[in-house]
Structure 1
Amino acid sequence: MKLQTNAKGLRGTIKVPGDKSISHRSIMFGAIAHGKTEVFDILRGEDVISTMNAFRAMGVEILDEEGKITILGKGFEGLKAPKTPLDMGNSGTTTRLISGILAGLPFETTLFGDDSLSKRPMDRIAQPLRMMGAEISGQTKRDLPPIQIKGTQNLHEMDYELPVASAQVKSALIFAALQTDKKAVTRIIEKEKTRDHTEDMLVQFGGEIAVSGKNILVPGGQRLTGQKVVVPGDISSAAFFLVAGLIVPNSEIELRNVGINETRTGILDVIEKMGAQVIRLQEDRINKSATLVVRTSELHGCEISGEMIPRLIDELPIIALLATQAKGETIISNAEELRVKETDRIAVVTELLSKMGAEITPTSDGMIIRGKTPLHATDVNTFGDHRIGMMAAIAALLVPEEEMNLARFESIWTSYPDFFSDLESLMP
């Protein structure tokens, strides 16, 4: 695909697709709850479709109507053994979270995915779920997919301290803990506070959970009830346009209905730390959403590390691009999780931006970026990673009138099917 270069300014209003994390969880909670769940503004990307198809294969009726998804939940006990292995596509979220559900079901299931997913280690969920009583086996010591899960209705509670900051691992253990005995209580201790969509949605569906700092207590034997869910816009998708509005000259972009859950808003903190202003309008505290407005700004480098990392882990590729257009040095550290995403994002981001002329150095757990540097055209490849593809498209806007091509651009459809049409709508 030929990318747009030499942008003269981006102006307009867009509504980004529904939050991917919340979309996945709305399907899962709807399936394990009893009764009807209606989901509005869901992301209809390939990853979320993989989640819907997996639960359909386990006997859950899911209706996809215009503007609404209806799930006729049957509870944990109503899920049936799929007739064939479950295709996870490219979705690590589906694979990890559904493993926690399958761990407590009395049948054996195989999960597989595409080439990219087959390189992503699942040992971080396999190990604690084995400790709870499930039988899980994958490829190599890192439990790469395909993985086989033989669940048990005798899952037992445990105290578990997460070795890494991971909302996906935490969520898988919460789903498993719900299926332990009624008198059981599972204690999960986070390394750093991570996105809390699972905890929020569990309460919304009538469940019980106690959270105190990094300690999470989950009682077993819970029965959930179907709900109405409105999915806010995905701040991870909005991040690409937030950055574009800051670094493309003569720009002003308004993003409507963006999720601003505090466990996900690290990108907003970084932007403000680098000297830009993000204007929040029409803030909805109940649904944790707002309209965000950004304008072209003078930026300076900063340090991004520690407890901030889990709040912006998916936004780090586009933040790296942002840093190339900020004066001074930006240091990203404690982000080793980037090594096991859809690609090794530390390696791929530094290679791509270096080819475009940026001064960027990879480290074992992050990157060092020195700005401000002009960028030039080069042909790039997403390597099957949607966030790499969108970052490349935004970077191309800064390139002078040269041709720049993107290979495997279709990976962007995983999380943002209308990305290119939304980008085009902002062009003069």
Structure 2
Amino acid sequence: MNGLNQRYTVRPGGRLVGRLRVPGDKSISHRAIMFGALAEGVTEVDGFLEGADCLATLAAFQALGVRVEKPGAGHVRVHGVGLRGLRAPADPLDLGNSGTAMRLMAGVLAGQAFDSTMVGDASLSSRPMRRITEPLALMGARIETTQDGTPPLRVHGGRRLHGLDYAMPVASAQVKSALLLAGLYADGETCVTEPAPTRDHTERMLSGFGYRVQRDGPRVCLQGGGRLIGGRVEVPADISSAAFFLVGASIAPGSDLLLEHVGINPTRTGVIDILRLMGADIEVLDEREAGGEPVADLRVRHAPLHGIEIPQSLVPLAIDEFPALFVAAACAEGETRLSGAAELRVKESDRIQVMADGLAALGVRAEPTPDGIVIGGGGLSGGVVESHGDHRIAMAFAMAGLRAAGQVAVNDCANVETSFPGFVVLARTAGLDMDASA
């Protein structure tokens, strides 16, 4: 359903039971298209997330001259053109709502012989890009932003890039990935050192495509001028999407849910660690590997939760899951404190403020701080919540309806399709009593 006025209405009660598989991992789906396009030969991608964000990446590479086929649901065939085979696009590349796509593609486009422009929707057009453009400039790239450092991004081609040894001031997988992608086109060695661990899908996938990557603790390096070789990528279910169900089943009495084939990359499992610290009952079953990524089935049952001080070491490992975790905190006994998460203020929305406002609308004490939030647990009333077009906030408050004292309505939910197509149907199947309406 399109239209920004889409509303979720969730009636109280319900429990989550059965088995389900959430859609494919968004981060890995983006990268599978990018690396498949830049590789030599054909890449077959299974489990591809057909949400708006990843489809924007796919369309951008089609506009850059890459042939992409979709022979079946979740299956994409990418005919790679090699690192130097992209062609100048006829029009600006529209990346919709996807910050991941824009920031990673900045690294790719910085190494091309042609000029290009990237644009996005209203949300993406307000998000900070200097964290990407400034280190890329140190490599020799020239990328123009607005005066505020936001999109559109105008990338000047024909620049000679050189390797860089960069210590990131803030942990960010998107910055790390953009620099490594630019490093494919650079003379010499590009090294990135991160202050805290972030998701390592780029490094894993580069190795999977035959590109030599050296990893030494927080430091990752590669030499420019190599080649990527196409192959098969199996995309696991997205732990960021699974997080809503992990929280929902934890807070709803009588819940017993098995989430199948979920990616449990150790740079992404902060949500499990934090929920367990709060008292959640989550089992990790049948651990295995798929396409270079660790996967498992996750069994989650209702358990009484208690408030905690969230360890700062876990913050980068759960950065996208905090909207769901804030709902868990609201249903816990006692106070939950988060700090060291200023990054949340520059996501699809200011997730600290928007979540605080939404929790307050449901009767929860929520005190935002510059880099976090303090949430007083104990339960939720019914009410109306504004998601501000942020898909993760919309889904988090849908799960809140399981434990609210009255009906919860969530406005502006159309962007859920960017990351979790079919969310409403899957949530209903599991036991959430909800409707979506225009």
The TM tier, using the shorter chain, reads: over 0.9
Could you tell me which residue of structure 2 aligns to residue 344 of structure 1?
A: 350
Letter in 2 for 1:378: G
Q: How does 1:163-182 map to 2 (within 5 A)?
A: 163-181=169-187
Q: How many residues align structurally?
A: 423
Could you tell me which residue of structure 1 aligns to residue 224 of structure 2?
A: 220
Mapped contact 2:241–2:420 kept (Cα < 8 A): yes
After TM superposition, where is structure 1 displaced by more than 6 Å over at least 4 residues in a row?
Answer: none
Distance in 1, matches of 2:14 and 2:233, equals 39
Deviations 1:293-333 (A, max 9, x none): 11110111112242211100000111011011112221111
Distance in 2, matches of 1:198 and 1:386, equals 24
Deviations 1:99-120 (A, max 9, x none): 0000100111111110000110
Distance in 1, matches of 2:331 and 2:384, equals 20
Corresponding residue to 1:393 among 398, 402, 407: 398
Distance in 2, matches of 1:375 and 1:328, equals 13
- State whether structure 2 residue 315 is matched by structure 1 residue 309: yes
> % of aligned pairs identical?
46
Corresponding residue to 1:295 among 301, 309, 319: 301
Could you tell me which residue of structure 2 aligns to residue 117 of structure 1?
A: 124
Residue 423 of structure 1: how far off its partner (Å): 0.7
Could you tell me which residue of structure 1 aligns to residue 426 of structure 2?
A: 422
Gaps of 5+ in 2: 1-6, 433-438
Q: How does 1:18-417 map to 2 (within 5 A)?
A: 18-67=24-73, 68-141=75-148, 143-181=149-187, 184-285=188-289, 287-372=293-378, 374-402=379-407, 404-417=408-421
Mapped contact 2:331–2:403 kept (Cα < 8 A): no
Letter in 1 for 2:18: G
Residue 134 of structure 1: how far off its partner (Å): 1.1
Mapped contact 1:5–1:398 kept (Cα < 8 A): no
Distance in 1, matches of 2:277 and 2:289, equals 23
Q: What TM-score results when the alignment is normalised by the length of structure 2?
A: 0.94
Mapped contact 2:20–2:258 kept (Cα < 8 A): yes
Distance in 1, matches of 2:103 and 2:26, equals 14
Q: What TM-score results when the alignment is normalised by the length of structure 1?
A: 0.97
Distance in 1, matches of 2:246 and 2:214, equals 34
Mapped contact 2:270–2:314 kept (Cα < 8 A): yes
- 162-171 or 375-384: bigger deviation: 375-384
Distance in 2, matches of 1:153 and 1:136, equals 11
Residue 139 of structure 1: how far off its partner (Å): 0.7
Distance in 1, matches of 2:356 and 2:406, equals 23
Deviations 1:267-316 (A, max 9, x none): 11111111222112221145411110111101111122422111000001
Gaps of 5+ in 1: none
Deviations 1:345-371 (A, max 9, x none): 010000100110111110000011121
Mapped contact 1:283–1:290 kept (Cα < 8 A): yes
- 356-365 or 281-290: bigger deviation: 281-290
- RCO higher in structure (CA 8 A, sep ≥6): 2
Distance in 2, matches of 1:370 and 1:127, equals 39
Residue 151 of structure 1: how far off its partner (Å): 2.7
Letter in 1 for 2:118: L
Letter in 2 for 1:252: D
Distance in 1, matches of 2:381 and 2:334, equals 20
Mapped contact 1:266–1:312 kept (Cα < 8 A): yes
Distance in 1, matches of 2:14 and 2:31, equals 39
Residue 243 of structure 1: how far off its partner (Å): 0.3
Mapped contact 2:161–2:185 kept (Cα < 8 A): yes
Distance in 2, matches of 1:118 and 1:8, equals 38
Question: Alignment partner of 1:278: what SS?
Answer: strand
Letter in 2 for 1:125: I
Question: Alignment partner of 2:29: what SS?
Answer: helix
